[in-house]
Each structure stands twice: as structure tokens, then as C-alpha cells.
Amino acid sequence: MASGIGNIPRTIWWEDGKVLLVDQTRLPLVGDVLVCNTYDGVCTAIRTLAVRGAPALGVAAALGVALWVASESDGIATVDEFLGELDRVADEITATRPTAVNLFWGAERMKALTRDNADLPLPELKELVIAEALAMQAEDEERNRAIGAAGAALIEPGSRILTHCNAGSLATAYFGTALGVIFTAHEQGKVEGVWVDETRPVLQGARLTAWELKIAGVPSTLITDNMAASVMRAGLVDAVVVGADRIAANGDVANKIGTYGLAVLAKEHGIPFYVAAPTSTVDLTLASGDDIVIEERDPREVTGFTVSGTFEPDSPAASRAFDLLTESGAYALPVAKGHAMEITRKGGAYQFDGWFRMAPPGVDVFNPAFDVTPAAYVTAIITECGVARADYAASLAATCSGAGGLDEIRRG
């Protein structure tokens, strides 16, 4: 496949009154598109990480509400009832994951819109909600391009940049935040290479970021998370750029587990540590990162690993054997005690999804999905409104209050 930034993927979109999304649990080896017919389908996609990444979750929340309005609100006769039900749906969507504030922001914006326009006739109110969700999706892409431009200005020519998790096009409506900075700097000829942290336990770096960078033609090298210290000590990293799930008023940053360790390492090695995020990720209601709720996920993410892929049987006999296995459409195979594999027929090929145990059954597991990096480790926060630096309490408040458009905000 030809590479170039124009080829990066879109992850979620509205089509014929449905929400479509690329199933990120199976990327990069399987590129299934999931069709959500109900808002409950969107909730499942969020919970299972089929759609993920803070800004993409904001868009998913808005599109989920729009989907309910378009397909599931026909029986509602009055605006009052509509407002009550829409609030319930929005709250159900936000109950799916606790950390990324964009999810709450997306849902809250839909609630506020309907409250503010409660004097409209119901059909018009419904159209307004759907139009707003689509506008939020377009705005997210615009914001990411602005973040990319502001962040690329901080990148020195010849930079080797380390990133963690996936803050790319897949994690947003399009283009990405941290990867938006990298894509833009690459277009400006400033990027010598990107170190991609694999990002245990779900491997968003190895599966998603490595794939996006490859598609975009940005030179990159995959490392396991525990190699970052060593490449920094060897003088091979010039900047760290990551995304964020929630940024508190004092500049503390919640992001994928492992980010805090990278920030400490960057400080120790004199490497700038940049956070790229839209202002919708800044939560001025929280004084510090101590107040951010950190999601804990299924222990099976740590005790085993999941693989998805496709294969074509190489002989008619193998094909017939697999056809028998998958006669009913899908075959769940306990491949060994504690492991499981499912094979699904897809046209002439077969898709498999397996979970394989690595750790002993019954082992205790701690699996927080995010950590908090104290503001003192953050060199700058790159938003669509400009670059905020310490003192973050002042600079973030100014950035988020519409004093944006500034190239750089530096206080204290």
C-alpha cells in the first residue's frame, strides 16, 4: 500500500443514520467496520475499546446520542419527555468509562444544546441534535490540525520523538493529537524517527500507532515499554510527545498507564516532555490530578494476550475442514485449558480471535488503565488555542477561557 499522511484512517463516522466505527480491538490485522444501530451498541463499542482515545470518545458520545435521536426516540411525544430521555441516554453513555473527560464533554454538550433549545418543536430539536454531533466531529479534526501546527513549531529539525499509547487519527475524529504534532513536523521535514512504545497491556502503541505511522510513511521503531529508559540514556530521544485523557486545572495530566514513568525519565535526561490535547480534555473543575478517577480494567488484559487475524486455507481440503468447523458462522474453540479461540467464516477466508493465558490462573492482578503525571514534569501542554506552560493554573485557565489563539501562554 502506498504510504503518506493522506492515507491515515478515519475511525468513526455517521452513515445513513447509523454510527460506523473501525473495530480497534482487531487492528491492524483485521479491519472490521462495526455498524451501531442503537446507542447501546455505541456503549458496547466504548466499553470493549472498539472505539477509544479521549477525543474519539467525545465524538462517540455525541454520535451515540444522535443515533438514539435518529433511530430510537420515535415514540416520544413531548419535548419534556424527550429532554428527560436524552439525559438518561447521555448518562448511560458516560457510565461506560470514567477517565477521559471528553466522553462527558461530548454528552454534556448534547444535553446543554437540547436544554437551551427546549422551545423548538420536537422535529426541529431532533435535527439540531444530529447536526451538532456531526459538527463536533468536524470540529475535532480542525482542532487536531491546529494542535499539530502549534506542536510542530516546538519540534527541532532532525528530532527523534518518543510517543506512548495511540494519540493518532484512530484516537480522534481524524488526524490525532500527539501524532498530529508528529505528522505535521514530519511534513515540515523535521522528524528523523519516532520511537513507539508498545504500551502494555492492550498494545495500542504496537498495534495502532506503529500501523498509523507506517501508513503515513513516518519512519518509526517499535520498542517495548521497558526500553524507553535505555534509549533515552543512549541519547536517542530529543522529545517525548503524548496525548491526554484528562488534564486538571493545575496541569496534572492523566494519560495511558506508563506515561508518568516516561515523564520522570524525560526530566532525568533533560528531554522536553510535551502533552498534546484539545481544550475539551482540560477539566477546570478538578483542582489537581488527585481528583481524576482512574479506570481499572479486566485482569485478563494482563494475564493473557489477545490475537486477531485472518487466514485463507491453502488447500481445498483445509477449506472444507474449516467450512465444517464454521458451518454455523462461528466456532468457539477451547484450544487448551484456559485459552479460547473463535473462528468466523468471512467470504472465502477465516477470521480468528484468540485469548491466550500467560500468567497462572488465580493470580492477583492490578490493572489501572491510566496514570497521572504531575504538572512539574510537563514541559508544555499543546492545545488548539496555543501552547500552555507553567504556571498551568493560570495558563490553562487563559487558554480555555477563549483567550486562546495565542501562540504561547507563559505565566508565573
For residues 184 to 223, the per-residue mask of contacts with ligand MRU, x marking binding by CB under 6 A and - elsewhere, is --------------------x-------------------
Q: Locate 305 and state its grid cell.
A: 494476550
245 labelled catalytic? yes
Closest distance to ligand MRU from the beta carbon of 171 (Å): 3
Please name the residue ranges forming H helices in 33-95.
39-47, 54-72, 79-94
Question: Which CB sits closer to ligand MRU, 70 or 170?
Answer: 170
Site for ligand MRU in 246-285 (CB under 6 A): 255-256
> If binding is defined by CB under 6 A, does position 171 make contact with ligand MRU?
yes
Map the footprint of ligand MRU across residues 38-57, applying CB under 6 A: 52-55
Find residue 342's DSSP bridge partners: 332, 353
State the catalytic residue, choosing from 225, 238, 245, 371: 245
Nearest to 171 by CA among 211, 201, 131: 211
d(CA 63, CA 60): 5
Among residues 14, 11, 91, the alpha carbon closest in space to that of 54 is found at 11
Closest CA to 323 of 346, 339, 340: 346
Give the Cα-Cα-Cα angle 359, 228, 156 (nearest 5 degrees): 150
# chain residues binding ligand MRU, by CB under 6 A: 17
Tallying the residues shown for the chain, one arrives at 412
Would you say 241 or 390 has its CB closer to ligand MRU?
241
Q: Which stretch binds ligand MRU (CB under 6 A): 65-73, 163-171, 317-325, 396-404?
A: 163-171
Task: Find the part of the chain contacting ligand MRU (CB under 6 A) among 169-177, 209-217, 353-361, 387-395.
Answer: 169-177
Window 367 to 396, contacts with ligand MRU (CB under 6 A): 369
Residue 151 engages ligand MRU in binding (rule: CB under 6 A): no
Task: Give every strand in the sheet of 386-388, ordered side by side.
Answer: 220-223, 191-197, 159-163, 239-242, 273-276, 380-383, 386-388, 408-409
Q: Which is closer to ligand MRU, CB of 114 or CB of 399?
A: 399
- As measured in angstroms, the least distance from the Cβ of 25 to ligand MRU is 10
Helix (H) or strand (E) holding 240: strand 239-242
Q: How far is the CB of 281 from ligand MRU (least distance, A)?
A: 8
Count of CB atoms within 10 A of residue 269's CB?
Answer: 15
Residues in contact with ligand MRU, shown as a per-residue x/- string from 92 to 131 under the rule CB under 6 A = --------x-------------------------------
Instruction: State in angstroms the smallest separation of the CB of 96 from ligand MRU.
Output: 11
Task: Tell me which of 244, 253, 282, 388 binds ligand MRU, using CB under 6 A.
Answer: 244
Q: Catalytic positions, please?
A: 245
**What does the binding site for ligand MRU look like in residue numbers (CB under 6 A)?**
52-55, 100, 165, 167, 171-172, 177, 204, 243-245, 255-256, 369
